[in-house]
Copies of this chain bind each other. A is one copy, B any other.
Amino acid sequence: MRPAINRTEAKNPDGAEPRDQRDTKERILDAGEALFMEHGFEATSLRQITAAAGVNLAAVNYHFGSKEELFQAVLTRRLDPMNGERVRLLEQYERDMGERTLSCERILNAMFIPALRLARDNQRGGKNFLRLLGRAYADPAPFIRHFLSEQYAPMIGRFKTAFSRALPHLPKKELVWRLHFLMGAMSYTLAGTDALKLIAELNPSESGNDELLLQRLAPFLVAGLQAPLPDLAEPKAEIERARA
């Protein structure tokens, strides 16, 4: 018989986790993380996942309810703690600074450092997960977009006000756009080592080094955030002129 689909609480009376359930669920999450990362959500089948995890096909629906819920569980498992850590770190920085305003560099650090810690935690699939996350950001599936925006909203809101304080001259609307660009560069960067070959072949010894990668990304983004305001007047003249 199957228990209620949505509830994962089915412990024994003594409070100890049933060992095999934990193993099965975690094996599924690990296999799902790797395969979703490699092929995306739609192109990954439950049969691939259960085969890679060494469990029965029906185990996914038994433990998670559906393929979509499995995908969300794969994301939540790492995203939840990481975003919590980001907010915690940001608030600690703010406490340390007292009344003085926080610099953009430090705010960005509060976003990057938890991601770096995750990337470094290889025994728990860190690097794979960051690639998966970057891809999920670009996935058109509505349930993924809903899930991510709900998962991210509190953190993004918190950082938006922090950046807004660090860049007082920047209009709110402009800041929103620039945060959007920032998330784009970050997601895209995390998503693909492959995509990088689009631009140039890279020394494979340096590839896979996500830490250097984020350290190169940070100054790029800080400079972008602090860029002068765009001149929004009369773009069409330039465009038409170039046609000649």
Instruction: Give A contacts to B, CB under 8 Å.
Output: 38-40, 42-43, 89, 92, 109, 113, 116-117, 134-135, 137-141, 145, 148-149, 152-153, 156, 160, 173-174, 176-189, 191-192, 194-200, 202-203, 211-213, 215-232, 235, 238-239, 242-243
Contact = CB atoms under 8 A, between A and B. Distances in A.
A194 B39 contact: no
B184 A239 contact: no
A226 B195 CA distance: 23
B235 A177 contact: no
B181 A189 contact: yes
Contact of A188 (B138, B198, B217): B138
A202 B149 CA distance: 14
In the complex, the 4 A-B pairs of residues with the closest C-beta atoms, listed nearest first = A184-B188, A138-B138, A223-B227, A42-B42
Nearest to A38: B140
Nearest to A156: B199
Contacts of A149: 197-198
Contact of A183 (B42, B153, B199): B199
Task: Tell me which of A113, A134, A181, A239 has the highest count of chain B C-beta atoms within 10 A of its own C-beta.
Answer: A181
A228 to B, nearest CB: 6
A226 B227 CA distance: 10
How many identical chains are in the complex?
2
A177 B239 contact: no
Contact of A198 (B39, B173, B183, B227): B183
Given A40-B139, A178-B220, A221-B224, A156 B198 contact: yes
Contacts of A228: 219, 223
Contact of A223 (B183, B186, B216, B226): B226
A48 to B, nearest CB: 14
A106 B181 CA distance: 20
A223 B149 CA distance: 28
Contacts of A191: 138
Given A153-B198, A178-B220, 11 more contacts: A43-B141, A113-B242, A174-B216, A176-B200, A177-B213, A177-B217, A212-B232, A218-B230, A219-B228, A220-B224, A220-B227
Contacts of A92: 242
A111 to B, nearest CB: 12
A227 B219 contact: yes
